[in-house]
Amino acid sequence: RYISRFRPAVKREAETNKAQWKTMGPAKVTVPSPKDFLLKHSKEPKLPARKKEQDSKKPPALPVPQRTDHPVMEIQSKKNFVKANAVAAMTELPKKPQPIYVDRRQGDKHLLETSGLVPKYIKKKDYGVTPKYVTRRKEEMKRAQEEYEARILEHLKKGAMKQLSDEERRSLLQALKKNWEEVYRQFQGLSVQIDTIPKRLHKEKLESQMRQLEHDIEVIEKHKVIYTANE
């Protein structure tokens, strides 16, 4: 049988490096001594010892007055403050209690002044006065309406526009409503199932005509005076 000539070297190398590749079994570490047991707070970080400040000096002691010393007083008053305070307390008017309100049966009290129940705003000087911005806006709207009416009158004088009479306006409104009823009748006659392109286009066309007629009817009903351009 063939035997490699490198067998002894491989065997020696495997036995030498065997311990380096071990993954099972207890690790060969030093066993701790029973005397070195874990103490309380031993794992907490310890702060360095506080150093005594050599440069720090005690503040100078303040001079304590002697018993025989008297305070320096330039102006001395002979007023009896105890008697004056007693007289002021007896003669002054009693304070008025603050108005309060109770919102619950348990007696929760709140100030009435800040509750919004006191009609303070009706006593203001500008209460009920129209704000300036509202007055200014009304004046601008009135000025714009006057300019529009002046421009319309100018066109009427030139003959470029004419005003529809009440009879013409009424007949025009009736004609629009009649056209809407005719288009609506055609819309009601459509088939339930819209499965072809011509049917869908016809339906969209009728809906567009109905919306336009409704818009025209609303405009004529809203405006009593209508102007038209002369062709």
Provide the token pair at 214: 């409704």
Cβ(169)–Cβ(220) under 8 Å? Answer: yes
pLDDT tens digits for 161-189? Answer: 777 888 888 898 999 999 999 999 999 99
pLDDT tens digits for 99-133? Answer: 888 888 887 888 888 888 888 888 888 888 888 99
226 CB burial (10 A radius; 0-12, 13-18, 19+): middle
Lowest mean pLDDT among 66-75, 83-92, 161-170: 66-75
For residues 44-48, give the mean pLDDT: 87
Cβ(169)–Cβ(226) under 8 Å? Answer: yes
- Indicate the pTM of the whole model: 0.37
> What phi and psi, each to the nearest 5 degrees, are found at residue 162?
-140, 155
- Residue (of 172, 163, 150) closest to 229 by Cα position: 163
